[in-house]
Structure 1
Amino acid sequence: MTDTSLAEPDADLLARLDLAVAEHAESAETLLVDLVAISSVNPLQPGVSAEEHLGGESAANALLAEWMSRAGAENHTVTGDRGRDNLVAVLPGSGGGRSLAVNGHIDTVASQDGWRTDPWTAVRTENRIYGLGTTDMKAAHAATWLAFRALSDVGIQLAGDLHLHSVIGEETMSHELGTTAVLEAGFVPDAVLIPEPTSYDDGALQVANTAAGNYLFSMTVRGRSTHWASRNLAIRAGGGGDAVGVNAIDKAFYIYSAMRQLEEQWAFTKRHPQFAPGAFIIHPGVLHADVGFPAAPYFPDRARFDYLLSFPPGDTSEAIRAEVEGHINAAAALDPWLAAHPIEFDWIDTWPPAYTDPQGDFSRVVMAARNEVVAGLGAPAMDAPRPNGAQSDASFYEARGVPALVCGPGNLQSAHAANEFVDRRLIPATARMILKTALRWST
């Protein structure tokens, strides 16, 4: 997507910024190495000790704040929770221009099995930097610092403010502690670029304008426990039926079939022009059933499913919740036991869909900047933004009317995996993309 109506930055200015990026690219890698060395595992991650990891996010943001200060930024702390601080770094504009934020989460997932080296000791190879959080998404923080530093070195003051929002909580959907806390503190930009991992084998720095919503929820099915040998009396003709006992696993699979039926319907009823047919799913991730302890000689009297579903832009979390409950309750009403013992739903967390107009001003600006930068990498141009492969904090900016696009140096296939890495060449490329976006947008 190339738009000749966009205001073009001065060629000499771009050349000077490019030189500044090249001069400080190695320092940006040093920042990334230092950020990886600080364990900023989200303390709310399942299976980790909260107390052990509390404070890591704040420590990483404190280091980042030191570097941002040296790049001329004004730093602000927004506390999201005890021992967990967000960082807002601002290069003030001269006034009258549109502001731009770069949003990146500083929290990471926990280390996975299979690392060949210490996850918190970054290892540089010819074209890669390995380490926990490199792709998701500390390389983006390093690239943002590099853009700030280049502006400072060249002595450019944009017309609008340029922000870095380095936030906590993203890995556990805790936006109210991170991005939403920053927005509620008053740091609301006119647009936001989120350099989450979008560099794939089919092209670096892919631009995404939309992502599916998701909802994490559970369903509990109740039964009536009895001795396992009574199964024939509970399910065969001539026996006592439900009065003898009800195996919660049997009822759970009845409900599972109803949920699978709804998922198959969604292949036709949940559509969006930017998503392939059948993209929206209802995923059963956990099934557990017992009688309070694992013992095969009993009828389990409880069974719980944990589900994670996805849904398209245009639907709301509230509407999806009502649709799922309505479908399951209608199916349960046809079973005498389930009609008398309703399914128990627990709606745990939701991430609303993301959508920014792919033809809007901000999309045109970012697409032009991205295509110019990747041409130097030998990567193909994009004609239009595409859906993102994962959720991001774009949703919470868009909920406030702020256009948000996702484009960053990491590869999503490397995120959350052992031996996570980032292509080190994409750090300066991302900085250049941020700079070109800021110069065109901040008018």
Structure 2
Amino acid sequence: MDTEKQAQAAAAAVDTRELVSLLQQMVRIRSYSAGGEEGTIARFMRGYLARLGLEVELQEVQPDRFNCISRMPGAGGGTSLMLNGHLDTNPAGEGWTKDPFGGDVDDECIYGIGVSNMKAADAAYVAGLQAVQRAGIRLRGDVILAHVVGELQGGVGTVHMLEQGVRADRFVVGEPTDNSALTLHAGSLEAELTVHGRTRHLSKMEEGVDAIAKMFKVIPALNAMSFSGPDRADYRGLRRVGIGVIRGGLGPEYQDWRPSLLADRCSIKFSARYSPGQTPEMVAEDIRALIARMQKDDPDLVADVRLNQGGQRMLMGAFEVARDADIVQRVVRAHREVVGEEPKIGDVAPYKFYGTDAAHLSRAGMIGLVYGPGGKYNTMPDERVELRDLFNAARVYARVIVETCA
């Protein structure tokens, strides 16, 4: 049987009922990021994958936080492939009409916290590999399923995995792109900007410097600024800032029980996206230069910028792979065969603003892309994935496994 017929057989062998059942079980296991809650789901995955005959290893990244690394060895002499996905999820907020941990299914979607980001892809990897086994296809290259922790903390699980020497020639990261082939995404950083004022009672506020009022000038300037870096249209389109937290008050503890005193401290925490060819420190320097320009018109504006890195939080770099790379073309071809139409490819919005473990894998010398089910209903109440996209992703993964490793 030639490779194309093997790929067709593998895609046809995907068991959608088994896939939905696995995904429901995964959704019902709470695995919030950075909460020490990922141990249970890692142990569940170890048991499930061991029953498929895979070689399975739990890597303890932090206490009771495990990567589950499973491998189906090939016969030798072939290209190896890693399917990488994170098991940690965001917390469930307000506004849900479904049980976030119920794994409810209707005619169109499966619901649950983390189902889009990204347990659907994690389960689809397994279904794709099971389909290859079911079709009786013998592979030459190894297949590695890397179910990791801590992606939402900047990829601590994948970095740990790489430090342990786990590698493959090619990779797919199944972050939710609505089954688009993402070949370029921004780097992601988090930082804090603090404005320092001078407190006075409101009776003599003219003598003071209101840190909050100064921050109201900084925020629109920050939102409107453009970063330095390579002058390419697709790169320029990656660069942006989003402010998520603001605090103001007195002193480093932001005391707020005496509002008749001008705030002498106001801070924002923000996330920024930057392009290949830039570094987090370059972004910080651009912001410091912006503040310096503003100080020429407002000498009382005093501010500092600090990157949040180290500790449990890592920085995710920008990612880019050539559109004509073999693994990209395999995914595009598999999507075309399974779905019957061309996928979106390249710097696809809004997914190009993600930070993903693809950056860490690429920096380690592996070649791959980001392609996964879900996306349009990501990070919102009643998070869900369309069943059609889930099933198609599993079939695409099955084909890509065969075409890469057979």
Q: Distance in 1 between matches of 2:395 and 2:261?
A: 64
Residue equivalent to 1:386? 347
Residue equivalent to 1:281? 240
Residue equivalent to 2:190? 216
Query: Given the alignment, which residue of 293, 296, 302 partners 2:259?
Result: 296
Q: Quick check: 2:372–2:393 contact (8 Å CA) kept in 1?
A: yes
Residue equivalent to 1:368? 333
Aligned length: 394
- Unaligned ranges ≥5, structure 2: 310-314
1:227-250 deviations in Å (ceiling 9; x for gaps): 111124x2xxxxxxxxxx322224
Query: Percent of counterpart pairs with the same letter?
Result: 26
- Unaligned ranges ≥5, structure 1: 1-6, 45-49, 200-204, 235-244
Q: 5 Å matches for 1:282-431?
A: 282-291=241-250, 292-294=254-256, 295-332=258-295, 335-338=298-301, 343-349=303-309, 350-375=315-340, 380-382=341-343, 384-387=345-348, 388-389=351-352, 390-410=354-374, 412-431=375-394
- 2:10 pairs with 1:17: yes
Q: 5 Å matches for 1:186-205?
A: 186-199=165-178, 205=179
Q: 5 Å matches for 1:173-188?
A: 173=154, 175-176=155-156, 178-188=157-167
1:309-331 deviations in Å (ceiling 9; x for gaps): 21122212232222222332454
Query: Given the alignment, which residue of 137, 151, 163 partners 2:132?
Result: 151
Q: Quick check: 1:270–1:280 contact (8 Å CA) kept in 2?
A: no
Q: Quick check: 1:209–1:385 contact (8 Å CA) kept in 2?
A: yes
Distance 1:352 1:383, change over 3 A: closer
Q: Distance in 1 between matches of 2:54 and 2:237?
A: 46
3-state SS, counterpart of residue 351 of structure 1: coil
Q: Quick check: 2:180–2:344 contact (8 Å CA) kept in 1?
A: no
Distance 1:429 1:283, change over 3 A: closer
Residue equivalent to 1:251? 214
Q: Distance in 2 between matches of 1:256 and 1:424?
A: 41
TM-score (ref. length: structure 2): 0.90
1:168-203 deviations in Å (ceiling 9; x for gaps): 111232x22x1111111111111110111111xxxx
Residue equivalent to 2:180? 206
The RMSD of aligned alpha carbons is 2.3
Q: Quick check: 1:207–1:405 contact (8 Å CA) kept in 2?
A: yes
Q: Quick check: 1:86–1:167 contact (8 Å CA) kept in 2?
A: yes
Residue equivalent to 1:202? none
- The alpha-carbon deviation at position 258 of structure 1 amounts to 4.8
Distance 1:251 1:114, change over 3 A: closer
3-state SS, counterpart of residue 163 of structure 1: strand
3-state SS, counterpart of residue 307 of structure 2: strand
Query: Given the alignment, which residue of 80, 105, 115 partners 1:99?
Result: 80
Query: Given the alignment, which residue of 11, 31, 39 partners 2:30?
Result: 39
Tell me which structure has the larger Cα radius of gyration: 1
Q: Quick check: 1:353–1:395 contact (8 Å CA) kept in 2?
A: yes
Letter in 2 for 1:74: E
Q: Distance in 1 between matches of 2:326 and 2:11?
A: 24
Q: Distance in 2 between matches of 1:216 and 1:365?
A: 34
- The alpha-carbon deviation at position 334 of structure 1 amounts to 6.0
Distance 1:303 1:418, change over 3 A: same
Q: Distance in 2 between matches of 1:8 and 1:356?
A: 28
- 2:131 pairs with 1:168: no
Residue equivalent to 2:400? 437
Distance 1:140 1:402, change over 3 A: same
